[in-house]
Amino acid sequence: MKTYNALFALLLAAAPCAAKTQDIVLLPEGTVDARTSATSGWVSVKDGVRVRPGAEIRTGKDSKAAVLLPDGTRFQLGNDTQFAVEDTTKKKAGFKLAFGKLKASVAGYFSSRFEVRTPAAVCAVRGTEFDLEVGKDGNTEMNVAEGLVEVNDSKGKMAVVSSEERIKVGMDGMSKPESVPLKDNRAGLAARPMAVRQETARERTRTMLEELRNRELKANEAQLGKDSIDAFGKRVRLEEYLLRPSDSEFKLLFLSRRAEADRLDWGHLIERFNTAIPDDISQVGEIINGMYLSRTAPTNWMKYFEVYLTNTVDSIKETIDFTAPVQIDFRGYTGSGSADYRYYPGSIDYRQILSGPGVALAAGVGTLTNTGLSSLASDERVQFRQIQDYNVTTANEFTFTQKVVNASGVLADMYQVTLNPASAASVSGGGTATLYDPAIDPEALTPAYSNFPSGPGLADYYVRSLYADNSTVSSRKLLVSNEGEILGIGGNADSTTFLKEGSYNLEMVIDSSLFQGRNIDVLFAPEILSQKKAATTTADSLTVN
């Protein structure tokens, strides 16, 4: 049976460095005053000076000033503006705009809780470029050029404002975010086709950030943050959050921020079960194991699994739908002389979905043929689907069907086999193939389907698939220490290598010809979970005791 190296199998498989204390620089232009604290006197500033937390700055008519932070962040203050530097520790960077205009270009925000306060709002920055305008009455207007900013008002409401959006916040509350009209000179990148096509990705990132904002409202969660080096020598800030949307599911969010490259990659892992799961997530592995080959009917089982990875523009999503375990005679595997009944999921339906601006230009985008889905976004395409069922397609047998995109970019049947688990002959013969189309088989089309970029003895495994429409999808997985060293192993890496638990980070680099030269590069730190096992095992590769 053909097999594919799914992301989910690899996902189941130190304290931050101290920040250096450096100076904040004020560069005046025109009439600019500063003071060391709210209680000290104002002093006229004519040339560049160093300021410290607690300092306040004000600009006069027809004047402006720049405030430069050591991480590369820059604030441009407009005329008639009062601004304060409140806190710049490694855990929090806080600023206040009492009134006036501010334009910010944020560089190192991800390592801190970066906030700008106004009389009406608190703006938690998760973006790169935005501007604020505050009236003497405290009313605030924000426009975001790039990235996302979380805004909270005095009434306890929260909104995430995305690129090319604006929001107004008064002393009595906030409006909803709205798009900046293209005729507005603040629209910036909104007129670029690339920015327009990024809307779907921004919405997904917006949802993720809103979940993070509300994480303290959810029970039984955990979070992890640390600084690491990836396998390519880049410094990465990792943040992970374990959420409990309901008592029968959990969601793990993991974010990788590379400040030097001004890059954010993130992903999530979702596991949803038939009934409530324990508060201790480490016990979930026992529930998953109980779905396979148990002699008694499981009281709980996984219904849905999803892993999603994105660079905020392109994304790959893999989903698995499970039906309830059913009683199956496995005597063909166990060699029993009589029926040997075990429980096993009635069906397992796995899909791989790509999205992004490049995907939107490809053939077959949004096509639902053979996907089993009710809808797809305008920039989404199902690249691959594998279905395993028992006693549905073929009576009393497993049926395995694999579908891949054909030359038209549409899912088509590539391979199908039936197997009787109660027949030793059927099991030993690998079942009976009912169809096979080598013209669309990625393993037949792809030279050097897999290799080991770092050579033998290291946990570094690369897989690439070429499809009939000439699209490609590749994944590279590495186990990397916090210092950027690849884990040493015996022999060559394979998919089971990455199920290792411990302090090594799993780095996943996903690429596709449809990503227009970009890739997705996410690190996942397994220590947030004390136990995580593979979610599926296909019936032709079982180990039965």
The tens digit of pLDDT for each residue in 224-253 reads 778 899 999 999 988 888 888 889 998 888
User: Is the confidence at residue 536, as pLDDT, over 50?
Assistant: no
* Phi/psi at 48 (5° precision): -60, 130
User: Is the confidence at residue 503, as pLDDT, over 90?
Assistant: no
Question: Would you say how long the chain is, in residues?
Answer: 545
- In the chain the domains, ranked by start, together with CATH numbers, are 24-197 (2.60.120.1440), 209-541 (no CATH)
Nearest to 175 by CA among 191, 155, 190: 155
Spatial distance between the Cα atoms of 283 and 286, rounded to a whole number of angstroms: 6
Pairing of strands 398-405, 113-117: unpaired
Where does the pLDDT of residue 413 fall: very low under 50, low under 70, confident under 90, or very high at 90 and above?
Answer: very high
Annotate 372-399 with b (16+ C-beta within 10 A) or e (fewer).
eeeebbebbbbbbbbbbbbeebbeebbb
Q: Residues 418-436: what's their mean pLDDT?
A: 93
Q: What is the Cα Rg of the chain in Å?
A: 27
Tell me what pLDDT residue 193 has: 35
Spatial distance between the Cα atoms of 46 and 43, rounded to a whole number of angstroms: 10
CA 470 vs. chain centroid, Å, equals 26
CA 55 vs. chain centroid, Å, equals 38
pTM over 0.85: no
Where does the pLDDT of residue 301 fall: very low under 50, low under 70, confident under 90, or very high at 90 and above?
Answer: very high
Tell me what pLDDT residue 185 has: 52
Q: Which residues contact 389 (CB under 8 A, 6 or more apart)?
A: 346, 347, 348, 398, 399
Three-state DSSP class for residue 207: helix
- The tokens for 29 are 């232009």
Nearest to 510 by CA among 472, 544, 545, 483: 472
How many CB atoms are located within 10 Å of the residue 47 CB?
7
Spatial distance between the Cα atoms of 436 and 415, rounded to a whole number of angstroms: 4
The tens digit of pLDDT for each residue in 439-471 reads 999 989 987 688 889 998 999 999 999 999 999
